[in-house]
Amino acid sequence: AHACVRAGYEAGAKTVVVRWEDDKLTRLNMELADEKDLTAMKPYELRSYLDYAEDPDGCCTLAIHAEDPEALAGLDAGKLNRVNLARRTFMKPWQEYTMNDRVQWCVAAVPAPGWAAKVFPELPLDEAVEKLWALIFDVCRVSTGDHVAVTKARRDRMNALELDRIHMTSSNGTDLTVGLADDATWEGASSKTEDGIEFIANVPTEEVFCAPHRERTNGIVYGTKPYAYNGQLIEGWHVTFKDGVVVEHGAEKNADLLAELLSTDENSNRIGEIALVPASSPINRSGKLFYNTLFDENAACHIAFGDSYPGTTVGGTGLSKEELAARGMNHSSLHEDVMIGAEDSRITGKCRDGRTVPLFENGVWVL
């Protein structure tokens, strides 16, 4: 935190504000406080963000995660879900700033002991933490270069295809068709604020992503990596879609948690993002499971249950909720990325002019 404050000032910030949370405090609060008190949000919690976001000089946010993926294991999953839903709903006016790229925002991660122990269970704790630092620097391409340019070129090629839908199959049984929203546009690598400032919203970032049409996803999809939700792990899961809605689902571990997630609100059982990530990504090639969505979502193709990014339909950040819905964009208080890409995934795109174009063979780009 001290290093970030210094870097913030060196980059020209007028004020650098640090907000600190940790797993143990979160667990104590979630375990010991009443649900009604946990959901009784105080205005300052929202204002502490909006006061800066509404400032004519604007603001930037850097969120650094260092979580034990099972920090909340064993706690009441329903309570966690309801509390987080109430919090997200209360904080929505601030979330609109990041979802619409009105401010420069970035999510990154640094090791914490509980997390490092999960990634390197065979090592003594201090060695595991050192190893995780090295791994993060490696997979985030800290020392190598032109990855942003490569991803941008891919994004542009995807947009040039004018796709109507994509179709994904894998030997694990996945057979999924994702129809795209009206005027959907593929994004990737960097984003731009309304003022035209370029920024990178996720470190690492390997994905090229787009908006599904909320009524046009069909078929079955199997998860290919465990998914940490509200501090608990969902493993060996699958879902079946019919006309955009999840009509059947299951999991080998924490199936009830998946059910909670999908029933969070009226649109959390539809998807708001489809993202393509090759199995050749350095995160996947490291062979390590991070149990952290920021990393694992950049190791495999993924879909997100819930909200879509307005910027993934042309001019979407300037549209109202109703206009976005008319284009098939999903709206939810939730946005949860879950990994579906396999080593042998095959993906084809169907263009609006009827052509079929191969996009992925054996888990990697062929476009």
Nearest to 328 by CA among 238, 177, 211, 157: 211
Q: Is 304 in the site for Zn ion (CB under 5 A)?
A: yes
For the chain, how long is the longest CA-to-CA vector? Answer: 58
Residue among 103 and 276 whose Cβ is closer to Zn ion: 276
Name the minimum Å distance from CB 99 to Zn ion. Answer: 10
Q: What is the DSSP code (8-state) at residue 231?
A: T
| The only residue of 132, 189, 275, 359 in contact with Zn ion, by rule CB under 5 A | 275
Closer by beta carbon to Zn ion, 273 or else 296: 273
Interaction of residue 274 with Zn ion, rule CB under 5 A: no
# residues contacting Zn ion (CB under 5 A): 6
Chain positions 196 to 225 lying near Zn ion, rule: CB under 5 A, are 207, 209
Shortest Cβ distance from residue 76 to Zn ion (Å)?
A: 26
Q: Does 260 bind Zn ion (CB under 5 A)?
A: no
The C-alpha atoms of residue 234 and residue 250 are separated, in whole angstroms, by 10
CB of 309 to Zn ion, least distance (A): 8
Q: Which one of 206, 260, 273, 307 is in contact with Zn ion (CB under 5 A)?
A: 273
| Range in contact with Zn ion (rule: CB under 5 A) among 89-97, 120-128, 270-278, 349-357 | 270-278
The one segment of 54-62, 171-179, 334-342, 349-357 that binds Zn ion by CB under 5 A: 334-342
**Over the range 280-309, which residues count as b (16 or more CB within 10 Å of their CB) and which as e?**
ebbbbeeebbbbbbbbbbbbbbbbbbbbbb
Q: Give me the helix-helix angle, 43-53 and 77-99, nearest 10°.
A: 20
Min dist. Cβ of residue 69 to Zn ion (A): 17
Minimum CB distance to Zn ion, residue 273 (Å): 5
Kindly state whether residue 101 participates in binding Zn ion, applying the rule CB under 5 A: no
* Shortest Å, Cβ 92 to Zn ion: 17
Residue placing its CB nearer to Zn ion in the complex, 104 or 117? 104
Cite the beta strand spans of the chain per DSSP E: 60-65, 104-109, 163-169, 175-180, 187-188, 191-192, 198-199, 208-210, 212-222, 227-229, 232-242, 245-253, 271-276, 302-306, 335-339, 346-351, 356-361, 364-365
Q: Between 170 and 293, whose beta carbon lies closer to Zn ion?
A: 293
Helix, strand, coil shares of the chain as percentages rounded to 5? 35, 30, 40
Nearer to Zn ion, 52 or 308 (CB): 308
SS3 176: strand
- CB 233 within 8 Å of CB 72: no
Length of the chain, in residues: 367
Residue nearest to Zn ion according to CB distances in the complex: 275
Q: Is-contact 163 351, C-beta < 8 A?
A: yes
Nearer to Zn ion, 103 or 340 (CB): 340
CB of 209 to Zn ion, least distance (A): 5
Q: Is 337 in the site for Zn ion (CB under 5 A)?
A: yes
Residues that bind Zn ion (CB under 5 A): 207, 209, 273, 275, 304, 337
